[in-house]
Every structure is written in structure tokens, then in C-alpha cells.
């Protein structure tokens, strides 16, 4: 089985999926980073397909960059605290990595989901 990466953004302030949020995926190599994907969340707060599909999957270090400030502002919420949220992580095995973001205007959390 080859690995792949998915994400899901939930707006905990409204109790709804965070639709319309821009999410970028970067591959990391030391101090260098390269853009691998630039996607927008759908009505369910997910991307329409894997952020990193099986045919592009490689072990290594990555960064998901969530454009939270733009999302919060577009939805009439305070956007003067959180702006871009970078999540750096490593994928060290051929597996499904699911990295969700739980977001409110003043906090966020993440975890490795299933």
C-alpha cells in the first residue's frame, strides 16, 4: 500500500466545516520548501481529493499551511489574531496520514486522525 495525505478543517466557533479555506502543502528539505499542492476546502471542510495522492507520496517532512485569517475574515469573524497556520510534520511510513485542523478565531488544534 502506498501512502497519501488528507486534511479536514472544522470551524469550532460556528460548529461547521470550514468551507472555502485555502490550504497549501510544502515539501521540506532542510531550510528549503517546495510547493506541492494548493487547494481549497469544499462544503464539508475537506479537499476534493487527497492533498498528496498515492502517486506523489514520498516519505519525509512536510508543512500544511492553512490560510485561517482569510477564512475568518471572509466569514465575519475576528481575523486579527490568527493569520497563516503552518503545521510541520513527518510522514515516516507508507500509510494514510490525516491531519485535521480545529479552528476558532483565537485558537486551533490538530492531531493525526484516521
8-41 pLDDT, tens digit each: 999 999 999 999 999 999 999 999 999 999 999 9
Reported as a pLDDT band with limits 50, 70 and 90, residue 49 is very high
C-alpha distances out from residue 62 to 4, 55, 80, 87, 99, Å: 12, 16, 26, 8, 11
pLDDT at site 114 = 86
Domain that holds residue 35: 4-110
Query: How far apart are alpha carbons 63 and 53 in whole angstroms?
Result: 15
Order the strands of the 101-104 sheet from edge to edge. Answer: 16-17, 9-11, 101-104, 107-110
CA 28 from chain center: how many Å?
15
The domain total for the chain is 1
Per-residue pLDDT tens for 64-90? 999 999 999 999 999 999 999 999 999
Q: What is the CATH classification number for the domain harbouring 68? A: 2.60.40.180
Amino acid at each position: 500500500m502506498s501512502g497519501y495525505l488528507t486534511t479536514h478543517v472544522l470551524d469550532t466557533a460556528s460548529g461547521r466545516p470550514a468551507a472555502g479555506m485555502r490550504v497549501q502543502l510544502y515539501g521540506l528539505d532542510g531550510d528549503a520548501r517546495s510547493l506541492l499542492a494548493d487547494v481549497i476546502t469544499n462544503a464539508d471542510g475537506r479537499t476534493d481529493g487527497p492533498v498528496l495522492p498515492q502517486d506523489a507520496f514520498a516519505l519525509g517532512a512536510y508543512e500544511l499551511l492553512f490560510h485561517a485569517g482569510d477564512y475568518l475574515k471572509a466569514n465575519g469573524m475576528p481575523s486579527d489574531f490568527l493569520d497563516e497556520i503552518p503545521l510541520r510534520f513527518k510522514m515516516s511510513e507508507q500509510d494514510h496520514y490525516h491531519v485535521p485542523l480545529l479552528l476558532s478565531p483565537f485558537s486551533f488544534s490538530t492531531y493525526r486522525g484516521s
